[in-house]
Amino acid sequence: MTENFLPPQQRATWQALEAHAQRLTSLSLREAFASDPGRFRSLSRKHGDLLADFSKQRLDTAALEALLALAEQSELKRGICALFAAAQVNFTEGRPALHMALRGSCPPPAGAILDDGPVRRFAAALRAGEIRGTTGKPITRVINLGIGGSDLGPRMVFEALREPGPPVEVEFVANIDPRELDEALARAEPDSTLFVISSKSFSTAETLANACAARAWLAAALGEEKGLSAHFAAVSNATTAAAAFGVAQERVFALPEWVGGRYSVWSAIGLPLLVAIGEARFDALLAGARAMDEHFRDAPFADNLPVLMGLIGLWNTDFLGMETLAVLPYAHGLRNFAAWLQQLEMESNGKRALRDGSTSAVSTSPVVWGGVGTVGQHAFHQLFYQGTRHIPMDFIVPVGEDEPRQRALIDNAFAQSAALMNGRDLAGARAALEAKGLPAAEVDRLAPHLVSPGNQPSTTLLLPCLDAFHLGALLALYEHKVFVQGWIWGINSFDQYGVELGKEMARALAQGAGGAQDGSTAALLQAAEALRRTG
């Protein structure tokens, strides 16, 4: 993947885009709509019944054409073909990234056999009440122990698709902070609880610590001599280590090495989802993602939603100098979508080393953050209206049923994107105050505080509903957007060497082998020990 590599800023199309950015520095979106009644039509795209409206982004058709030319010069089509053909797009670790094979969009690597029958049969048996604990009681609660990709994706999808009254209660525990597991155990009965240890390496410190605590809890209640394997299952690539922990061999479900953690929700990592939502809806999730895969692979770049999302995000980051992306889903079920996307984007593209080993001269991943509307409107949207930063936003809006509260939710989403684009100038602020009958002196005093500059850029993604199919398409859309940006930047979106540094330091501190510490860390260790003794 390093042959004939040219760093992005050295490409002619990159330099052309810099000229477009200078041209559009003072672009007023409100004036752009006033002068071009067809702006929405020319800057929005559909795939199936998913609509992406890019018309509130700070670009025009000429800049968009230049972005498409950048994709061509960056040989993005070659990258997409390599991704689907099991080439080693993960070039540092020398392996493919074939999470799409899990949803049937491309074949697995040569010699790999995909058989999800065992995990599906186990999940179905759990839902049917056929899996029993060591005392003979049916398992009625599953607690997933995992972190990162073994938690964020399954947890987010579970929250989006959960329904009341499931046959088996499902919970997720990620934090090594004892409180999260303690709270889950307080709702559980030992003889009817099963723990799923989700760890690709079966060496993740947080997950193993929680697994050991869960085993101690079971032993205290049920007795070690009874054997606790009936209360454990595991999803891991390290099947031997899982068996050594005490998980029965037939309950260790393999996670292929070529599936990255943050892309693993489609794999056996989805075991708790299969339990919670059932096989039919899990298949619909896969089908929605597969439909987006095919669109990404086949659609011309000018109509390709992941390509356009990636290019416009890159435009905001590298050419307009915007350092964050606010993700605003108007759906309670997507309350953890931003957390899932933080890992997907920032762990994938939070890199600086290029394919040839040089250091990137341009910005890579933005800081991703956000929260659900309308809750966020009463928390952090003030910054959007009157703060000092321009912040790109993704509004994710499932239309849903024709019901008064749902209609109000959608109205709020559309009103936010419009108000943040249009803003309110000083004359508008004065008029609003005068309409309230305030005296002239009070109008003069308050008017500056009501001004909102507007011109905040946003994309709106409109879905008919938040069901399994459309959620799968949405997740795959963002997965491919991340690949587009990583390919153009020239970084590897599929490794995560950086996070290992902190893990190494934590292990060294735990073993008392941290070596010479900086003054702050050494003092903090001493202060913490003093608090333990006196607390």
- Tell me the residue type at 266: W
Q: Residue written as tokens 């869960």?
A: 214
Q: 309-326 burial, b for 16+ CB within 10 Å, e for fewer?
A: bbbbbbbbbbbbebebbb
Q: Residue written as tokens 């089509």?
A: 77
Q: What is the phi/psi pair of residue 124, to 5°? A: -65, -40
Catalytic position from the list 347, 351, 381, 481: 347
Catalytic position from the list 130, 189, 503, 529: 503
Residues 6+ apart with CB under 8 A from 80: 296, 297, 483
* 77 noted as active-site residue: no
Catalytic position from the list 378, 403, 436, 449: 378
Q: Please give the Cα distance from 425 to 163 (Å, whole number).
A: 46
* 47 noted as active-site residue: no
Q: What is the 8-class DSSP label of residue 44? A: E
User: Which tokens go with 467?
Assistant: 């069901």
Q: Please give the Cα distance from 298 to 80 (Å, whole number).
A: 10
* 18 noted as active-site residue: no
Residue 75, by phi and psi: left (phi above 0), alpha (psi -120 to 50) or beta?
left
CB count within 10 Å of CB 177 equals 11
What are the helix (H) ranges across 248-304?
Answer: 271-298
Q: Please give the Cα distance from 361 to 365 (Å, whole number).
A: 13
- Tell me the residue type at 519: G
Q: Which residues are catalytic?
A: 347, 378, 503
